[in-house]
Amino acid sequence: MLTIFTIPKPFNGLINIIQRNAITSWLKLKPACEIILFGDEYGIEEISQELKVSHVKLVMKNDLGTPILGDVFHTVQRIASYDTIVYANSDIIFTQDLMQAIKKIKIQSFLLCGQRWDLDVQEEIDFDNEPFLNNVIEQAKGSKPLNLAAMDYFIFPRNSIKMPAFTVGRPGWDSWLVYHMRAKKIPVIDATQEITVFHQNHDYSHSKYGEHKRVGGPEWKSNISLAGGFSNMCTLRDADWLLTKDGLKRPKYVRRIYSCISLFYPWRMLLAAKRILMNKLDM
C-alpha cells in the first residue's frame, strides 16, 4: 500500500475545488492509501478533518513563508505508515491504474514519475458517477500529455531521498531530483504508459511572482542555486526505464540515446546553456 503526501495551497476559490478533487481521487484508490497533508495554509486543517486524512501542521518555511520541501520529505519518510511513498502536487488526480502499476515494480530502489494530461475544471467532480467521470477522462485524454519536463508526482521507497531545502511550488527541484537519482545510479522510471494522471488547470495567482505563467522570482533562483545550476537537471526524457504493460523495459531509439548521455558532462553543459537562454527569453 501507499502513503500519498502533498503540501496544499490555501483552500480558496477555484483552488479549493481543484484540491478537493485531487484529494478525493486519492481517497477512491483501492486498497486504501494513507494520505498526509502538510502545512498551515487556510483550510488545510478543516479539510483534513472533513475528509478524514492525516495532517502535519508544522513545517519549515523560508523567509517569504513558503514551505521547505527538504523538511517535508524528511518528515514523511519518518512517519509514513507504508514503505512506498508518493509525492503529488495538490492539483493532481490519480486513477486506479496507479495501484495496478505499482504492483509491476519489483526492484528495491527506484524513482517513478510520468507525464500528465491537462484538465479544465470549474466544479467538484463526482467520483461516484462513473459515466460522468469516464467522460471527463476521455475528453482530457483526447489531447497529448504535457511535455516531458512537467513532472507533478514522484513515487519512491522510504529513506531513498535526502532533499535539499528547495521551495515547494517553484521550478527546479523536480528536475534536480531526476538528475540526482540518475547520478546515484538509481533507476528512474517513466510510467506515462501505465499511469493516467490529470492536472487541473489553474493560474499562479497564489504567488506574487507569477500570475499566469510559471512561477519565478527569488525562490525560483534559490532553487536553481540549491540544485547546483541548470547543468544538474534532467527530465523524463532522461529516464533509463519505461514502465509498460509487460513490466520494465529500456527506452528505444531517441529516448535510449538521451538516457545514455544524460550524465555526460559536455551534454549537461550544452543543455544548461539552452535552459539559461530559454529562461531569459521567458522573463
pLDDT 10s digits, 266-279? 888 888 888 877 77
Give the domain ranges of the chain.
Answer: 2-282
pLDDT of residue 205: 55
pLDDT of residue 283: 56
C-alpha cell at 37: 497533508
Please report, for residues 16, 33, 164, 193, 253, the alpha-carbon distance to residue 172 in angstroms, rounded to integers and kept in the order given. 25, 28, 12, 24, 27
Look up the pTM and report it. 0.91
The CATH code belonging to domain 2-282 is 3.90.550.10
pLDDT of residue 212: 43
